[in-house]
Amino acid sequence: MAARSIMTRTMRSALAALALFAAAPGAALAAGWHYYDPECPISLGGKSMKFVAMQPKRNIDRVCDALGDVGSTVIALDAPDPELREMLWDIRVLRDSGRPDGEENIEADTVFKLPPEKYRNGMVNFDYSFAAADKYILLVRVKSDDGAREYVGRHHFTVGLLDNADLYAYAGFGLFVAAVGGGFAYVKLRKRKSAASA
């Protein structure tokens, strides 16, 4: 009877810990990623823009670096600097081929591009459906009408790949399951030994 009581308490504790562990990544994500955050800056030399991406058909999380899955994605850019609003924006999504920044084969690596245009309100958003899980680069080139001034920025991100936080969560969960399974096996073994000696 005492062994059954210990086992029941152990099982309840394990289930409670499992529930807390399962909720923790979502709670941490919710605590750190508010609706208008993150503000992911793209450096354009002496200027900057804000980048944010989300997959509204899946959830409303806005992300900087790691989109959870392939498929329809909204990418938004915001440039509060008045000078940038008077310039032509060339915006592309490139497949990250692993070359150093500035040495990409831009035409070959481009998977999506917007026609060069001025965005006088300083904002643009566009939809793109990523077909393959991979690493990508958002390339932004902003140029004055006479070509005398140009600002270039890149933002690296992944689509459909596990990031370090996911890997740590899965590894932690695996260790937790192994510990709980080991605890149950230990209790069962002790129960058998005590029954055999009685």
Q: What is the pLDDT of residues 29-64, one digit of tens each?
A: 433 334 345 578 899 988 999 999 989 888 878 888
Q: Is 39 left (phi over 0), alpha (psi -120 to 50) or beta?
A: beta
Question: Which of 168, 193, 196, 157 lies closest to 65 in space, CA to CA?
Answer: 157
| The amino acid at 104 | E
**Dist. CA 12–CA 15, nearest whole Å:** 5
Choices 2.60.40.10, 2.60.40.1930, 1.10.760.10, 3.40.50.720: CATH for 35-161 = 2.60.40.1930
Sheet strands (E) in 45-143: 47-54, 62-63, 66-67, 71-78, 88-95, 110-113, 117-118, 123-130, 134-143
Residue 191: is its pLDDT beyond 80?
Answer: no
pLDDT (mean) for 88-105: 93
Residue 85: is its pLDDT beyond 50?
Answer: yes
* Whole-number pLDDT of residue 63: 83
pLDDT (mean) for 78-103: 93
**Dist. CA 129–CA 115, nearest whole Å:** 18
What is the tens place of the pLDDT at every residue in 140-181? 999 999 999 999 999 999 998 865 555 555 556 666 666 777
More confident residue, 21 or 82: 82
The token pair at 115 is 């026609």
Residue 185: is its pLDDT beyond 60?
Answer: yes
**Can you give the residue ranges of every domain in the chain?**
2-28+166-197, 35-161
Per mean pLDDT, which range of 65-69, 104-108, 153-157 is the poorest?
Answer: 65-69
